[in-house]
């Protein structure tokens, strides 16, 4: 066999591959990479789980706080004033119960249709008995109390049921949580309906109230109500329930997870808020449905002050402002050019309990004949019949 032939034969039997040393080196590098990567990714996963835990705790706290705050803002909508002729000697209370761990109030929160114009929400699926005031024949026991409510069946002036239902929020120890964990469940109930869970995993440290209250003092200063002075009820002698102006809540959400060393750890996030119900402190009117009595007929005269001409209109107050129904809130002023229809109100003057009122019109044109009118407006708002002036031309 020639030399060339022997070389070609060896070339055909050579096999490509790795030596044992190369394989050992590759395996060592691979193991080293995985040894470094696995702890890194494990730590990243635990960090992600911690972030999820913090977010979950915060979302629990925010949801509970937002739910309570949203309804506290509407306290007092649709509550009815006293009506001794119907055997109701007191106003329907706005705040029924102010407790360190519970709050109960009245508001027109929901209706089944748009016929209830004061309702905050419309839900055609809600039970009708949960959209009106409760009947005294079916009272409920208030949370953390042996007291029952209502004390009267509160009605409107036409003897129909008040549309302001009774809403309760309270926290109660979580029976499924370990003893001493200070975990609570937030509950909600409307009228005598079933109680529903709003949020769980709420942490309340020992000795800390869930609800705090502020009231207006006799001198007009807003001050906190000490927890030791709670609870406050609507029917207490010299009750301060009507003087409450703000309700504060502190909600701490909890998520039980693990730290970076995979040891058990609880993540706590707290949300604090203070709600000032817009309707508390407003007077309750009983006769806004009746059209107020008209004011006196206006008298208009051309006057010049400092070289500026204006029409000055005066009129006497409505008999329903300082006496009678006492529900006049303002006076509405009208003006039109004689021969043309009356348009929208030109201005309005808030009541001041004065026997007479004066209003001036600077936007006048020479040679144009005007006629002025004025109506009393109550809190409905409803206008009295218009009283008009004599025509006047500048």
Q: What is the mean pLDDT of residues 117-133?
A: 93
pLDDT band at 31 (very low <50, low <70, confident <90, very high): confident
Pairing between strand 110-111 and 121-122?
Answer: parallel
- What pLDDT is stored for residue 328 in this prediction? 87
Whose CA is closest to 372, among 394, 388, 386, 357? Answer: 388
How far, CA to CA in Å, does 384 sit from each of 159, 287, 378? 25, 14, 8
What is the predicted pLDDT for the residue at 258?
65
Position 224 pLDDT exceeds 90: yes
Query: What is the pLDDT at residue 15?
Result: 59
22-36, 71-85, 233-247: range with lowest mean pLDDT? 22-36
- Helices and strands counted in the chain (H then E): 3, 22
Residue 279: which region, alpha, beta or left (left: phi > 0; alpha: psi -120 to 50)?
alpha
In sequence order, the 6+-apart residues with CB closer than 8 A to the CB of 82 are 88, 89, 90, 91, 286
What is residue 177's predicted lDDT score, i.e. its pLDDT? 83
Give the Cα separation of 124 and 220 in Å (integer).
Answer: 43
Sign of dihedral through CA atoms 344, 350, 356, 360? negative
Contact between 345 and 307 under an 8 Å Cβ cutoff? The reply is no
Between 89 and 209, the higher pLDDT residue: 209
327 three-class SS:
coil
CB atoms near residue 133 (< 10 Å): 24
350 pLDDT band, cuts 50/70/90, is confident
Q: How confident is the model at residue 222 (pLDDT cuts 50, 70, 90)?
A: confident
Mean pLDDT on 306-319: 90
**Fold (CATH) for 299-393:** Immunoglobulin-like (2.60.40)
pTM, full prediction: 0.63
Q: Where are the domains of the chain?
A: 53-275, 299-393
């Amino acid at each position: 066999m020639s030399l060339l032939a022997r070389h070609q034969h060896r070339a055909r039997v050579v096999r490509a591959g790795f030596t044992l040393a190369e394989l050992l080196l590759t395996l060592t590098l691979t193991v080293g990479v995985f040894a470094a990567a696995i702890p890194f990714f494990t730590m990243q996963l635990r960090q992600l789980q911690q972030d999820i835990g913090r977010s979950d705790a915060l979302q629990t706290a925010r949801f509970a706080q937002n739910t309570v705050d949203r309804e506290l803002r509407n306290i007092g909508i649709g509550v009815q004033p006293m009506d001794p002729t119907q055997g109701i000697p007191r106003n329907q209370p706005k705040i029924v119960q102010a407790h360190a761990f519970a709050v109960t109030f009245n508001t027109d929160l929901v209706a089944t249709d748009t016929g209830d114009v004061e309702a905050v929400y419309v839900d055609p699926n809600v039970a009708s008995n949960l959209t009106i005031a409760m009947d005294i024949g079916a009272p409920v026991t208030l949370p953390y109390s042996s007291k029952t409510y209502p004390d009267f069946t509160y009605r409107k002036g036409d003897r129909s049921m008040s549309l302001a239902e009774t809403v309760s929020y309270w926290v109660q120890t979580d029976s499924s949580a370990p003893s001493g964990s200070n975990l609570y469940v937030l509950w909600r109930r409307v009228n005598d309906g079933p109680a529903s869970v709003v949020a769980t995993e709420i942490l309340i440290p020992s000795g800390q109230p869930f609800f705090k209250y502020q009231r207006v003092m006799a001198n007009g200063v807003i001050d906190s109500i000490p927890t030791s002075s709670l609870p406050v009820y609507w029917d207490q002698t010299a009750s301060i329930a009507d003087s409450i102006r703000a309700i504060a809540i502190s909600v701490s959400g909890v998520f039980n997870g693990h730290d970076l060393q995979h040891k058990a750890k609880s993540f706590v996030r707290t949300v604090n808020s203070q709600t000032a119900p817009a309707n508390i402190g407003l007077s309750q009117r009983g006769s806004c449905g009746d059209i107020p009595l008209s004011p006196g007929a206006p008298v208009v005269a051309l006057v010049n002050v400092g070289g500026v001409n204006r029409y000055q209109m005066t009129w006497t107050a409505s008999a329903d402002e300082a006496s009678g129904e006492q529900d006049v809130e303002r006076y509405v002023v009208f003006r039109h050019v004689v021969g043309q229809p009356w348009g929208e109100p030109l201005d309005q003057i808030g009541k001041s309990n004065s026997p007479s009122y004066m209003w001036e019109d600077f936007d006048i044109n020479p040679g144009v004949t005007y006629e002025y009118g004025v109506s009393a407006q109550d809190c409905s708002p409803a206008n009295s019949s218009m009283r008009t002036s004599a025509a006047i031309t500048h």
